[in-house]
Structure 1
């Protein structure tokens, strides 16, 4: 498959400064990334987590750091967490943070209010740890909602690997690793179309979950992402290139008229997707969960989004394990709305299996 089967995407980055831990230049991957951005200012930091300049940024200027800053570090912890929802295991991330700015994003803003992309340069250690972990699992004896045959590893819990692939070869290396693992698949969700992924030769061992919502919602909430029509157009190309392609209907944001706009999205998908994609298609459905701290951040830079995300009239508070205040759609009503969503999907796209709904 030619890597040019999709139009070239414009990278949502214009890196002017790179924050780097002292050991970064000891790694070949670190040196390679620095060479890709020769004009960027290099700012040494003791830890990729603690960068006061990012944390103290103007709350109203949310996007500059995401566009202009890159953080390079060395991944310390290599733990694998059981999941059972989108994946069997959450793998140690090769990155965290994101160049995009989805208004509902749950990723912890530990570097500051914007949390730009951080890339970890010790990719060899991450690859070796993943291979060892998969080998210890042996054959998957019992099919589950994640996958009937393979152990699935979520590779991009805290970012978007399609963007990361434009910064370094970490994603290419991860895809190459899973080609060699007979009992495991990699998996990541994305909202950005990167045609370079078409040349990675996944051979069915990497699952890409294309995140979708109605285009009108996405224009307001999915800031700095690829338009929904471009994401949909990429699905057949990614499948032809050898990826298993699933869908993420996430988050489902309820507003007046939601059934009509989601129904139109399902109709568009049904028109565009070829039979080969439909035959292997599955989806996740995740209803919106919002957060009080994120609500305050958004009020400073994107208050229009909060008119849809912060709906105390149809939401209720739920305290998270970390002590934060989350808002979820009200108990009882959420279940009814979720069933209506699934019924609508089954009516318009009966071939689309729902792997996980919450």
Structure 2
């Protein structure tokens, strides 16, 4: 059974902004039929809705947009971008935006702040592109730290695929398609438990990465997400259902008592994960990166979180690959934090491999 109560809390679609072509697309028709009472608002482009993407107002309106607004569009630019950490390629998005409101999230920085889910309805075109792209790569002859056998495609860079799957079958269609792509594999990270994914039969061709952090910190900064214990509770089931299940320890946030809180989380993993899940477990470790503009917005709706996220005395400027001006923990200090954390993982989760830590 899907967690209907949780989904109802996250998604109550009342307004749908849509590009005119959506009316003629099979996936578009399916979604519109699912929300027959929603108010439809035509827009020339899913990118240009100033009243949504430029909004930086009160938390009440912010959450209302997250819960009540859906955007439907056509993904016009199809390209796979090379990557070197969680995947070999970033796939063309089947969506962007998110119904959750994590206070550290990088997605709002790039596309405005009150940013609900946009679903791209030309999913068949996206899948055909990925099939052709994977074919051009040929067999993966050399194992690497990303995967020993397959070219891995990230499909959740700009949103949460588990939440998207509550709206339509885009994610299901992609998972099914990759079971038939001989040299390819999907991956995405999630903070939301959607048990419907257990019925998708991924045949070990999809890697789902559950994002985890200490409970106390998650309650402060992981706004509108599935509780950490609930994410851990389903990991064995997802392995049994044919997924590779990894964990993202992300973001790792420094604060008084942070080590003790992580040790408690590791103990919970040790207690709850079965032997099969432990044997295949790999972690990706990502320390907090923040952003001054996001900090200023958060101060208007969630200032308590900024007490741990915005720490100028221990942070320095970092420019992203796209030229964004962010802040991270100071270089020497961060190296010590990374070393401490990886040592903790190796001590408390000796079966858990580390794909990368930064």
Q: Say whether the fold is shared (TM-score over 0.5).
A: yes
Deviating more after overlay: 116-125 vs 105-114: 105-114
Deviations 1:298-354 (Å, cap 9, x if unpaired)? Answer: 111111110010001111122345543311001111011101000001000001000
Higher helix share: 2
Q: Does the Cα contact within 8 Å between 2:189 and 2:208 map onto a contact in 1?
A: yes
In structure 2, what is the Cα distance between the partners aligned to 1:214 and 1:241?
26
Which of 10, 27, 31 is residue 6 of structure 2 equivalent to?
Answer: 10
Partner residue of 1:260?
A: 260
Q: Does the Cα contact within 8 Å between 1:15 and 1:67 map onto a contact in 2?
A: yes
- SS, match of residue 158 in structure 1: coil
In structure 1, what is the Cα distance between the partners aligned to 2:134 and 2:248?
25
Partner residue of 1:296?
A: 296
State the 1:54 CA deviation.
1.1
In structure 2, what is the Cα distance between the partners aligned to 1:338 and 1:201?
36
Which structure 1 segments of 5+ residues have no match? none
Partner residue of 1:43?
A: 41
State the 1:58 CA deviation.
5.3
Deviating more after overlay: 14-23 vs 317-326: 317-326
Q: Does the Cα contact within 8 Å between 1:9 and 1:195 map onto a contact in 2?
A: no
Partner residue of 1:233?
A: 233
In structure 2, what is the Cα distance between the partners aligned to 1:139 and 1:306?
46
Q: Does the Cα contact within 8 Å between 2:56 and 2:114 map onto a contact in 1?
A: no
State the 1:10 CA deviation.
1.6
Are positions 1:143 and 2:136 aligned together?
no
Deviations 1:122-170 (Å, cap 9, x if unpaired)? Answer: 0000000011111111111111111011110001100000000000010
Partner residue of 1:82?
A: 82
In structure 2, what is the Cα distance between the partners aligned to 1:27 and 1:245?
33
State the 1:56 CA deviation.
4.8
What's the TM-score, normalizing by structure 2? 0.96
Which structure 2 segments of 5+ residues have no match? none
State the 1:230 CA deviation.
0.3
Q: Does the Cα contact within 8 Å between 2:54 and 2:114 map onto a contact in 1?
A: no
Q: Does the Cα contact within 8 Å between 2:17 and 2:71 map onto a contact in 1?
A: yes
Deviations 1:237-259 (Å, cap 9, x if unpaired)? Answer: 11111100000001001101111
In structure 2, what is the Cα distance between the partners aligned to 1:299 and 1:353?
37
Partner residue of 2:285?
A: 285
Partner residue of 1:114?
A: 114
Instruction: Decide whether aligned partners of structure 1 residues 8 and 59 sit closer, same or farther in structure 2, where only a CA change above 3 A counts.
Output: closer
Are positions 1:134 and 2:134 aligned together?
yes
- SS, match of residue 259 in structure 2: helix
Partner residue of 1:67?
A: 67
In structure 2, what is the Cα distance between the partners aligned to 1:83 and 1:9?
37
Instruction: Decide whether aligned partners of structure 1 residues 111 and 22 sit closer, same or farther in structure 2, where only a CA change above 3 A counts.
Output: farther
Instruction: Decide whether aligned partners of structure 1 residues 79 and 108 sit closer, same or farther in structure 2, where only a CA change above 3 A counts.
Output: farther
- SS, match of residue 10 in structure 1: helix
Q: Does the Cα contact within 8 Å between 1:299 and 1:306 map onto a contact in 2?
A: yes
Which of 20, 26, 35 is residue 28 of structure 1 equivalent to?
Answer: 26
Q: What RMSD over aligned residues (CA atoms) do the two structures have, in Å?
A: 1.3
What's the TM-score, normalizing by structure 1? 0.96
Deviations 1:215-269 (Å, cap 9, x if unpaired)? Answer: 1100010000000000000101111111000000010011011110001101100
State the 1:111 CA deviation.
5.2
In structure 2, what is the Cα distance between the partners aligned to 1:244 and 1:234?
13
Partner residue of 1:344?
A: 344
- SS, match of residue 296 in structure 2: helix
- SS, match of residue 216 in structure 1: helix
- SS, match of residue 327 in structure 2: strand
- SS, match of residue 107 in structure 2: coil
State the 1:60 CA deviation.
1.6
Partner residue of 2:158?
A: 158
Instruction: Decide whether aligned partners of structure 1 residues 192 and 77 sit closer, same or farther in structure 2, where only a CA change above 3 A counts.
Output: same
